[in-house]
């Protein structure tokens, strides 16, 4: 029995020490805000480098020395959506697409980019492009399209954190490299819209139909489409010129929030979430930007240490009784 107690004490002590290691590592990994940050975007399709593509970057949030992010004034209305903790790649892609739409034809249409650069002969665009340095923080990256050999190449917007954390080595990488992963499409293509309802609480109150309008370069295009079409909540436009910026908009739907529009290739997903009484918030309760996480390992380690001390005292009391 005594041997088992000694083993338990040692294991708990080791566990407590290991829990405290991330704190020390985090303290050693603070960002040097005086050190220059840089971003290199590589744009290639297969083995072929794509030249002449202009990338623009927008400073969305500034970073402090601990890596906490604070939205800039221009993006303050998107503070909750820009909480980086807990986000997966799909969520960040959706946020980048939303901000791109706002810059191209929405509330941020007058916003000027922080910097811009064009891909060179190797398909690389390097930031900063001039003498001005970049501010550490979170950036939205947007690229133009280019035509080559009967195809058009487009790049999806994405988010880049400067500097980014190397989790394996627990250091900050101040010279970030990113691949834009362009898509290749013929000069004309079919575009599809799919309607998605998030209204499990009030399915019976869903409208019988909705109206969707195609938008080209910020202007209404063609006639509105009524969904469902042929019994399906989806529709396809054929042979659209891919040299234009296409999106869709939906007429307001009573009882539902402002729709979220996501784009994956040539497919638009219009997501409507119910806002009637009793509707549950399906969004994860993610911690807000700036919320301190350091107490978690401290409290866990303190609890284990108290257990260890309790076992030691019990062991000492047992020896005194003998």
Mean pLDDT value of segment 100-105 = 91
261 or 17, higher pLDDT: 261
Instruction: State if pTM tops 0.75.
Output: no
The single residue listed with the structure tokens 């004490």 is 9
Residues 127/134, Cβ–Cβ less than 8 Å? yes
The bridge status of strand 48-49 relative to strand 69-71 is unpaired
Q: How confident is the model at residue 306 (pLDDT cuts 50, 70, 90)?
A: low
pLDDT interval class at 304 (50, 70, 90):
low
Query: How does the average pLDDT of the chain come out, rounded?
Result: 82
Residue 57: how many CB atoms within 10 A of its CB?
A: 23
Of the segments 72-76, 87-91, 278-282, which one has the largest average pLDDT value?
A: 72-76
Integer Cα distance of 70 and 257 in angstroms:
26
**pLDDT confidence of 97, banded at 50, 70, 90?**
very high
Residue 75 in 3-state DSSP? helix
294 confidence band (pLDDT: 50, 70, 90): very low
Confidence bin at 315 (pLDDT 50/70/90): low
Dihedral sign (CA 172, 174, 177, 178)? positive
> What's the pLDDT band for 299 if we cut at 50, 70, 90?
low
Give 275 or 208, the one with higher predicted confidence.
Answer: 208
Residue 298 parent element (H or E): helix 295-321
pLDDT band at 28 (very low <50, low <70, confident <90, very high): very low
Query: Residue 179 and residue 144: Cα distance in Å, rounded?
Result: 15
pLDDT tens for 229-285 read 999 999 999 999 888 899 999 999 988 999 999 998 899 999 999 887 665 444 333
Q: What is the mean pLDDT of residues 10-16?
A: 43
> What does residue 284 show for φ and ψ, rounded to 5 degrees?
-65, 145
Mind giving me the DSSP string for 238-257? EEEETTS-EEEEE---TTBP
Q: Give the pLDDT score at 203.
A: 83
SS3 212: strand
Mean pLDDT, residues 14-35 taken together:
56
Q: Which residue has the higher pLDDT, 105 or 318?
A: 105
Mean pLDDT in residue range 93-108:
92
How would you class 209 by CB atoms within 10 Å of its CB: exposed for 0-12, middle for 13-18, buried for 19 or more? exposed
86 φ/ψ sector (left φ>0, alpha ψ -120 to 50, else beta)? left
Residues 6+ apart with CB under 8 A from 242: 145, 152, 154, 185, 186, 187, 188, 189
Q: What is the pLDDT of residues 173-183, one digit of tens each?
A: 999 999 998 98
């Amino acid at each position: 029995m005594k041997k088992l107690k000694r083993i338990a004490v040692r294991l708990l002590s080791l566990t407590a020490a290991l829990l405290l290691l991330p704190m020390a590592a985090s303290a050693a990994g603070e960002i040097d805000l005086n050190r220059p940050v840089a971003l290199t975007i590589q744009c290639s399709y297969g083995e072929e480098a794509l030249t002449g593509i202009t990338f623009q970057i927008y400073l969305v949030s500034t970073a402090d020395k601990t890596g906490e992010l604070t939205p800039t004034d221009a993006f303050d209305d998107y503070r909750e959506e820009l909480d980086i903790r807990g986000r997966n790649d799909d969520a960040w892609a959706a946020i980048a697409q939303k901000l791109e739409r706002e810059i191209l034809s929405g509330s941020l249409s007058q916003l000027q980019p922080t910097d811009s650069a064009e891909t060179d002969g190797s398909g690389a665009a390097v930031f900063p492009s001039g003498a001005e340095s970049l501010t550490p923080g979170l950036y939205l990256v947007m690229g133009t399209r280019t035509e080559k050999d009967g195809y058009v190449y487009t790049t999806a917007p994405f988010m880049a954190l400067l500097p980014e954390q190397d989790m394996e080595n627990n250091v900050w990488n101040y010279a970030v490299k990113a691949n834009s992963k362009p898509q290749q499409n013929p000069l004309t293509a079919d575009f599809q819209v799919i309607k998605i309802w998030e209204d499990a609480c009030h399915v019976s109150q869903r409208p019988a139909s909705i109206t969707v309008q195609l938008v080209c370069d910020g202007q209404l295009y063609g006639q509105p489409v009524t969904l469902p079409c042929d019994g399906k909540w989806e529709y396809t436009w054929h042979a659209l010129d891919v040299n234009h910026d296409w999106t869709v908009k939906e007429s307001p739907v009573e009882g539902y929030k402002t729709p979220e529009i996501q784009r994956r290739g040539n497919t638009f997903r219009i997501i409507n979430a119910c806002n009637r009484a009793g509707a549950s918030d399906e969004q994860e309760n993610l911690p807000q930007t700036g919320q301190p996480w350091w107490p978690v390992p401290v409290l866990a380690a303190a609890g284990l240490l108290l257990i260890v001390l309790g076992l030691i005292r019990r062991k000492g009391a047992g020896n005194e009784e003998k």
